[in-house]
Chains A and B, each alone.
Chain A
Amino acid sequence: MRFKGKTAVVTGGTSGIGKETALRLVKEGAEVLFTGRDESRAEQALQELEKLGGRAYFQQQDVTKTEDWLRVAEQVDKTFGRLDVLVNSAGVFTYGAIEDTTYEEFKNVWRSNVDSVLLGMKHLLPLLEQASGVASVVNVSSLSGVMGHPDCVCYCTSKAGSLMLTRVMALEAAPKVRVNAVAPGPVWNELLERAHAGQDKEEMQEYYRESQPMKFLGDSSDVANGILYLASDAARYVTGTIFRIDAGRGAD
């Protein structure tokens, strides 16, 4: 129970890495407010969280909207009175060659993957600073923010942006708040499954597995494990770190 008595906000908490992180935080004793856009998926996530006997709350949120962050801050203040952990997991993925990419799409991906993190820090920092100990923010970036891929200019650029945002926020928020990022490679979860809807599932898993140096295709729990380490007091001297969870893909 590494998070007993702790309070947490997880964005993108209705599916994928965010949902797994919210579940794990609840399992380890935290009270969690998770946010997302899809209310029907939220209902299912809420049931799973409550089944764990934990205390979980849901708020619908578009992470690119200031007014939605203000409502989350208000809710956190009312429910918890402070915040110990913020996990910025919401984000979008698109791909395509630059000639097929509209400026509008580029800006939208940036808003979802970078503005969202900035707004979260901006509006929840006062509550994080009221944490009883040192609060912790974990941003879910991507290996694509560390290394480039062809036909992936929007996503790669935005994820690199979120990494530098992490470093600068680590400096600004210290010493009351730690800020770190995980940079995961591909993991098999409902997001990847949805992205490959209509294709052969086992064939796609094989494709992703074989594309890693270590022929292992993880799932959301592998990233959640790293997030929980960084979010917990076990990492009390860790800030501004970019931690790859990528089966070795970023090492060569």
Chain B
Amino acid sequence: MANLGRVQDMVAVVTGAATGIGFASSKALLEEGATVVMTDIDESNLNRSYKELSALGLSVSSSLLDVTDENAWQVIMDRVIKDYGRLDILLNNAGVVSHSLLKDQDMDAYQRIVDINVNGVFLGSKSAILTMRANAGDDPPRGSIINMSSIGGQRAIQTVGAYCTSKAAVANLTKALAIECAEKREFIRVNSIHPGNTKTSMTETIYGDEYFEDEANYKSVPLGGHGIPEDVAEAVVYLASDEARMVTGSELTIDGGLSVILAGRN
């Protein structure tokens, strides 16, 4: 990605930033001029990823964060304000999946998915909106919240039913927040991204290491092949930047065209 300063001097918080889409998005936002606070619950991966990005000489910091912990969100936001003075971008990216038919779904695993994928996005968004409203000099308040949903939030994918349920909730939570902020005459924009078949540590866990090596698994993807975290990071930068100042409550699907052929429920 070329450095065009598309999010120059903006302050961003990214959850699930240690690996995959969160890591690629943190890197892209940094390269386009933002200050990024990388957060994750996985301390060793977060430290490794933070070191890799801070070695680029860009404005980055890291913080452990359990997205389901309301107090922890308060601590993060207080720190962001203390260190950088404002918040412009929140990428709610942290998420988990479990592989099971719904009839066999383990309830603890189900609750964990709902807590992280749905409640984590709710808590993060709420904290970010309150923080953005307090940004000095912005009247009306402004900012960009980007929620990571999935094509599983738009279509049903068998064997990850609980994940699909949570991601559909993220998609509609996004729209509800977008309308709520808009109706308050604010310029806090809230959008969701819907990746499909993207190779990350999370999807490798679901499908296994070999899945992404076998072209036969993408026969049904119109563009062929799988997506990479950088594909999603490009969309994050666009939605975070003022280029998307008229975009709120929108869904952006990045799936090689797969959802077009998953029935006609567009």
Nearest B residue to A238 via CB reads B254
Dominant SS among interface residues on chain A: loop
Cβ of B266 under 8 Å from chain A: yes
A168 to B21, CA, bound (A): 29
B179 adjacent to A216 (CB under 8 Å): no
B246 adjacent to A245 (CB under 8 Å): yes
Which residues of B have CB within 8 Å of A234?
A: 1, 234-235, 238
Which residues of B have CB within 8 Å of A185?
A: 246
- Of the candidate stretches A11-19, A53-61, A191-199, A207-215, the one touching chain B is A207-215
B257 adjacent to A252 (CB under 8 Å): no
Option from A134, A214, A236, A243 in Cβ contact (under 8 Å) with B182: A214
Question: For residues 223 through 251 of chain A, which have their beta carbon under 8 Å from a beta carbon of chain B?
Answer: 223, 225-226, 229, 234-248, 250-251
Cβ of B183 under 8 Å from chain A: yes
A171 adjacent to B243 (CB under 8 Å): no
Option from B175, B183, B256 in Cβ contact (under 8 Å) with A239: B256
Cβ of B245 under 8 Å from chain A: yes
Contacts A225-B243, A251-B179 given; indicate if A171 touches B222 (C-beta within 8 A).
yes
A215 adjacent to B246 (CB under 8 Å): no
Contacts A171-B222, A238-B253, A239-B222 given; indicate if A248 touches B227 (C-beta within 8 A).
no
Q: Smallest CB–CB gap between B153 and chain A, Å?
A: 14
Which residues of A have CB within 8 Å of B251?
A: 244
Which residues of B have CB within 8 Å of A212?
A: 182
Interface range, A side: 35 or more
A215 to B248, CA, bound (A): 11
Contacts A214-B187, A237-B254, A239-B222 given; indicate if A167 touches B266 (C-beta within 8 A).
yes
A236 to B1, CA, bound (A): 13
B223 adjacent to A174 (CB under 8 Å): yes
Q: Smallest CB–CB gap between A176 and chain B, Å?
A: 9
Which residues of B have CB within 8 Å of A178?
A: 223, 257
A2 to B227, CA, bound (A): 20
Option from A174, A218, A225, A251 in Cβ contact (under 8 Å) with B257: A174
Cβ of B147 under 8 Å from chain A: no
Contacts A214-B189, A222-B245, A225-B244 given; indicate if A244 touches B183 (C-beta within 8 A).
no
B182 adjacent to A213 (CB under 8 Å): yes
Question: For residues 237 through 260 of chain B, which have their beta carbon under 8 Å from a beta carbon of chain A?
Answer: 238, 243-257, 259-260
Which residues of A have CB within 8 Å of B253?
A: 238, 240-241
Question: For residues 178 through 211 of chain A, which have their beta carbon under 8 Å from a beta carbon of chain B?
Answer: 178, 185, 187
B222 adjacent to A175 (CB under 8 Å): yes
Cβ of A170 under 8 Å from chain B: yes
Q: Smallest CB–CB gap between A52 and chain B, Å?
A: 17
Interface range, B side: 35 or more
Which residues of B have CB within 8 Å of A243?
A: 250, 252
A252 adjacent to B175 (CB under 8 Å): yes
Which residues of B have CB within 8 Å of A248?
A: 178-179, 182, 248-249
A245 adjacent to B247 (CB under 8 Å): yes
Which residues of B have CB within 8 Å of A223?
A: 246
Cβ of B2 under 8 Å from chain A: yes
Nearest B residue to A1 via CB reads B2
Which residues of A have CB within 8 Å of B257?
A: 170-171, 174, 178, 239-240
Nearest B residue to A212 via CB reads B182
Contacts A226-B247, A234-B234 given; indicate if A215 touches B254 (C-beta within 8 A).
no
Cβ of B115 under 8 Å from chain A: no
Cβ of B261 under 8 Å from chain A: yes
Q: Smallest CB–CB gap between B32 and chain A, Å?
A: 12
A251 to B246, CA, bound (A): 13
Cβ of B231 under 8 Å from chain A: yes
Option from A134, A167, A226 in Cβ contact (under 8 Å) with B260: A167
Nearest B residue to A217 via CB reads B246
Nearest B residue to A218 via CB reads B246
Option from B186, B198, B250, B254 in Cβ contact (under 8 Å) with A251: B250
Cβ of B33 under 8 Å from chain A: no
Q: Which 9 A-B pairs have the closest CB atoms?
A: A251-B249, A174-B222, A213-B182, A240-B260, A214-B182, A218-B246, A234-B234, A225-B243, A222-B246
**15 CB < 8 A contacts A-B:** A134-B223, A167-B260, A175-B223, A216-B245, A225-B244, A235-B234, A235-B254, A237-B227, A237-B254, A237-B255, A240-B260, A244-B250, A245-B250, A247-B246, A251-B249
